[in-house]
Each structure stands twice: as C-alpha cells, then as structure tokens.
Amino acid sequence: MLRIPQVARLALAAGIAAVLVVGLTSSAQAATGNIRYFSGSGQEARIDNPPDNVCITLRFRAQLLANNTNKWVSYFYNANCTNFTGDLAPGRAVSYNNPLSVRVIG
C-alpha cells in the first residue's frame, strides 16, 4: 500500500520538474543574428544572438551600430542602458550617436 503513494509522489515531482524546465527555457528568448559595432578607429565587435530585455554594455563607444538581428534594438549613450538615444529596426544601422550600451526590445 505504501508503493502507490510513493510512486504518485515521484510522478508529481517529475511533472513539476518538467514544467519548471520548460517554463524557464521558454522565457529565455534571444534575437537571431548579431549586433555589429565599430569604433571611430575602425575596431569591430559583435554580439551574436543577443538575449531579449538584457542590457549589454559595449566594449567601446560605437561610431557605427548595425542591427543585423530579427528584433528591434534600443541604444543608449551611457553604460547600463541609461540615457536613451534611440531604437534601431532590424536590418538598419546608425552612425555618430556614440552609444555605449544596447538592449534587444523585441
């Protein structure tokens, strides 16, 4: 008689674990593609498949910022996504705004 409740508890625990794993993985979205940026001296950097709604501080100020992802990107003059500068549509680029951080907004 103890086997049925024990099996039921194991099945319930496994079900809860599966729901948590699926729930956590589905909430972690990312844009497909990359964000490329260039310094005034021509140094290039890129961020591949950037996550949604996460502030990313760039390695240097971007003289040219290109959104090669499938989602909109907000760019900010300061680090930590402060001092909003503008939004960049997929497939577009902007120059001479000198952003230092970006966030994929969907």
Q: In which band, very low, low, confident or very high, does the pLDDT at 90 lie, cut at 50, 70 and 90?
A: very high
* Three-class SS state of 26: helix
Domain that holds residue 47: 33-104
Can you tell me the mean pLDDT for 70-97? 98
Q: Are both 45 and 80 inside the same structural domain?
A: yes
Q: Are both 10 and 41 inside the same structural domain?
A: no
| Residues found in the chain | 106
Q: Are both 23 and 5 inside the same structural domain?
A: yes
Q: Are both 22 and 38 inside the same structural domain?
A: no
Separation between Cα atoms, residue 72 and residue 99, nearest integer Å: 15
Q: Per the structure, how many domains does the chain have?
A: 2
- The pTM assigned to this predicted structure is 0.73
* Average model confidence (pLDDT) across the chain: 85
Q: Are both 94 and 55 inside the same structural domain?
A: yes
